[in-house]
Amino acid sequence: MSKRKPYVRPMEGWWRKNPYFIEYMVHEGTALFVAGYALTLLCGLWRLSQGEAAWNGFISALQSAPALLLHAAALAMIAYHSYTWFKIMPRTLPPLTLAGRRVSALAITAGGLAAAAVCSAALLMLVWGMTA
C-alpha cells in the first residue's frame, strides 16, 4: 500500500472564506467591464472605418438611455478596478527608496491614483477641446 495521501478536492467557494480573496475576485470580475469597454471602442473604430453614416449610427446608439446606463456602470466598475489595481501595486513592486527612506504603500497607491486622475483629466480636456 502506498503511503501517499489521497487527493482531497478543495471545497467549493473557498475564496469566500477570506476577505482578501473576495476583494481579489471582485477585482478580477471588474476586469470584464474593462474588456467590454475596450470592445466597445474597437467597434467604434470599425464603424468609423465604414464611413460617416456608420459612425453617426454608432454615436446615436451610444447616446441611448440603456447605453448611458451601461456607461455609468462601466465607469463605476473601471474606477473600482483602477483603485484596486493601484492598491495592489505596492505589494507587487520591489521596495522603493527615495532619499534613503522606503516609500510607504499608501504613498505608492496615492501616487498611482493621482497620476491616473491627471492623465484622465488631460485626456478629457483634449477630447472636450476637439469637440467644442
Three-state secondary structure of 45-87: HHHHHCCHHHHHHHHHHHCCHHHHHHHHHHHHHHHHHHHHHHH
- What pLDDT sits at residue 132? 66
Range 102-131 average pLDDT: 93
Check whether 1 has a pLDDT greater than 70: no
- Residue 5 domain-assigned? no
- Residue 82 domain-assigned? yes
- Residue 127 domain-assigned? yes
- Note the pTM of the prediction, 2 decimals: 0.77
CATH (domain of 30): 1.20.1300.10
- Residue 1 domain-assigned? no
What radius of gyration, in Å, describes the C-alpha atoms of the chain? 22
Q: Looking at beta carbons, which pairs linking 66-72 to residues 24 or more positions away fall under 8 Å?
A: none
- Residue 9 domain-assigned? no
- What pLDDT sits at residue 34? 92
- Residue 7 domain-assigned? no
- Residue 71 domain-assigned? yes
In this structure, which amino acid lies at residue 71? H
- What pLDDT sits at residue 69? 96
Check whether 12 has a pLDDT greater than 90: no
Domain count of the chain?
1
- Residue 92 domain-assigned? yes
Residue 111's domain spans which residues?
14-131
pLDDT digits (tens, 9 = 90+) for 24-82: 899 999 999 999 999 999 999 999 999 999 999 999 999 999 999 999 999 999 999 99
pLDDT digits (tens, 9 = 90+) for 71-92: 999 999 999 999 999 999 999 9
3-class SS at 39?
helix
